[in-house]
Amino acid sequence: MRKSLFAVAVTAALTIPSLAMAADAPAPSPFTGNVGFATEYLYRGIAQTAGKPALQGGFDYAHASGAYVGVWGSNISWLENAGVSGASLEVDIYGGYKGSMGGLGYDVGILTYNYPGTLAPAATNPNTTELYGAVTWSILTLKYSQSTSNLFGVANSKRSGYLELNATYDLGDGWGVTGHIGKQKVKNWSAANYTDYKIGVTKDVGVGVVGLAVSTTNANDSCGAVPDAYCFPTRPGGAADYSAGKSRVVLNFTKTF
């Protein structure tokens, strides 16, 4: 179709060259969506579904100016297992601004993690708000997030911070490799501080992207003689017997539309 329109324009002695431009593909939509499946949901190296699969998805709107908003959700189990009735869902709402300057990309914004459910009377609300900022150079992205609320139900933990370095490298033919290191510091609870590491490979298979990653943290073996902050029960009301920070391999599939 585009070749035919171009031929007509040429034979018309280029008197209406705008016709060829009109045949170009329309600008991409500012709206995108994604849906995915993972053999386990990990967040900052910590298991959110106690070894069980997760169904995930979201929607984003990106304005030409660089401003964006979005929503994303996943099933979880760690709150229900810890006694928060009906808390089997995480819903993230976020917004920010992206741009570039002098060869560096930047991204600043706010993110809220929301966990619908019924809290016990003495429990701290797990809903969390963080501000974040990131800079990208070549294949590297450095990002810092700081909570403006208590962090995921930990009392007196406002201004907890997470610093991370991520790398992505395109190998060509749809293949890519990723690397990650992050440091979580929990305000007023140093025993909950930890570092997480991840390395993975991705493959664009046409209908979506398949990823395989190995993740570990120094919060592993947390269900030993003295269980720590990342040892959770695998069922509501059960004993704390699942080390959420242990090493694991995760397979996932993501489709963007």
pLDDT of residue 67 exceeding 80 = yes
- Look over the chain and give the mean of its residue pLDDT values, rounded to a whole number: 89
Joined tokens for residue 114? 């929301």
Domain around 162: 2-256
The per-residue pLDDT for range 93-108, each reduced to its tens digit, is 999 999 999 999 999 9
Given a cut of 70, is residue 121 above it in pLDDT?
Answer: yes
Beta strands in the chain, from DSSP E residues, in sequence order: 31-38, 42-43, 46-47, 54-62, 67-75, 89-101, 104-114, 128-137, 140-147, 161-172, 175-185, 194-204, 209-217, 231-233, 240-243, 248-256
Backbone CA torsion sign across 143, 146, 152, 156: positive
Residue 78 is inside which H or E element, if any?
A: helix 78-81
DSSP-assigned letters across all residues of 190-205: GGG-EEEEEEEEEEE-
Residue 38 in this model has a pLDDT that exceeds 90: yes
Q: Are 124 and 157 in contact (CB under 8 A)?
A: no
What pTM does this model have?
A: 0.87
Residue 197: predicted pLDDT: 98
Q: Does 142 score more than 80 pLDDT? A: yes
> What value does the mean pLDDT take over residues 40-48?
97
How many domains are there within the chain?
1
Domain with 89 in it: what CATH number? 2.40.160.40
In this prediction, residue 226 has a pLDDT band, given cuts at 50, 70 and 90, of: low
